[in-house]
Amino acid sequence: MFSDDFMRARAPANLDVGVVLGGAFGAIGKHWVVFLIYTLVLFCLPYAVTQAAFLSLTPDYSTSFASLGTLWRGLLISLPNIFLIQPFFAALIGWTVWADSLRTQANARSAISAVGRQTIPLLLVNLLVVLAQTVGTLLLIVPGVIVSLAFWVALPACVVEGGSGRAALSRGLFLTRGQRWRLFLLAIVLGVITAGLSIIFNLISLMAGFNPVHSVSPIVTGVRAATSGIGGVIGAAVAGSAYVELMRIKGGGPGSEVAEVFA
């Protein structure tokens, strides 16, 4: 008969949400200056520019085609930020969190070098994940959530482990398999944090005498950009910390096929 100690040793480990959050906020605390620069340059500035471009569009609701034209112009304004800038932002922070977990040189130069070497695979992974999330959300929302959980650590895997975009997607699937309910809980925690940041933003805007919903004041735009930037840093750091923890739990292993995303 197997002893209790042996059975416990053989039991598969699960993702510890507390450990992931602790690793993320610990890395943010150590590298807050670098993360602040990343946020200002790669998140807040593009966010403010995008918001200003959106506000410059004059809505035309005279016909359904005109309103669709306004919508498409707005989407085109967002494309560079979604498909070019944000993946670099997330990858830089994710790589830094991983390097920090190894007690190595987690400096900006090394992070930029690592991300730069994986530019094409990184953009490809981000493109495929965003498209899959969009299609899944348009279907019934739930498939979009499943895709998000399955590929949660694909970007960190891409920049840390190198290789092709397909390899990064497969690696992300392998690492998250069997852990997606834990990741879902982690997503809920992040949602609560984001909601709290939104409440803080609204209170600051109201105290400054601005309507946080309808105001187009530069102050409101700046506060909104800062709030979104903080949320972006936390989200990217949590993804990097989740990758570190999943690596500890599952380590190496064969890649998964994309068809297994709903497993």
Q: What is the pLDDT of residues 200-242, one digit of tens each?
A: 877 877 776 666 555 566 777 777 788 889 999 999 999 999 9
The pLDDT assigned to 146 comes to 86
Within 8 A by CB and 6+ apart from 78, the residues are: 50
For residues 181 and 233, what is the distance between their CA atoms, to the nearest angstrom?
A: 23
Contact by Cβ (8 Å): 182, 14:
yes
Sequence-distant (6+) residues with CB within 8 A of 231 are 193, 194, 197
**Is the pLDDT confidence value at 172 over 70?**
yes
Task: Report pLDDT for 213.
Answer: 57
Higher pLDDT, 3 or 32: 32
Enumerate the H helices of 153-217 as residue ranges. 154-161, 165-176, 180-207
Q: What percent of the chain has pLDDT over 90?
A: 49
Q: What is the pTM of this model?
A: 0.84
33 pLDDT more than 80:
yes
Does the structure show a pLDDT above 70 at 256?
Answer: no
Q: If you average pLDDT over every residue of the chain, what do you get? A: 81
Cα–Cα distance for residue pair 86/257, rounded to 1 Å: 26
Mean pLDDT score, 194-201: 84
Query: pLDDT tens for residues 114-139?
Result: 999 999 999 999 999 988 888 877 77
**Which candidate, 151, 170, 148, places its Cα nearest to that of 161?**
170
Per-residue pLDDT for 250 more than 90?
Answer: no
Q: Is the pLDDT of residue 140 over 80?
A: no
CA–CA gap between residue 96 and residue 78 (Å, rounded): 26
Q: How far is CA 129 from the centre of its chain?
A: 11
Q: What's the whole-number mean pLDDT along residues 245-252? A: 85
The four Cα atoms 41, 47, 52, 56 give a dihedral, to 10 degrees, of: 130
> What is the per-residue pLDDT for 262?
41
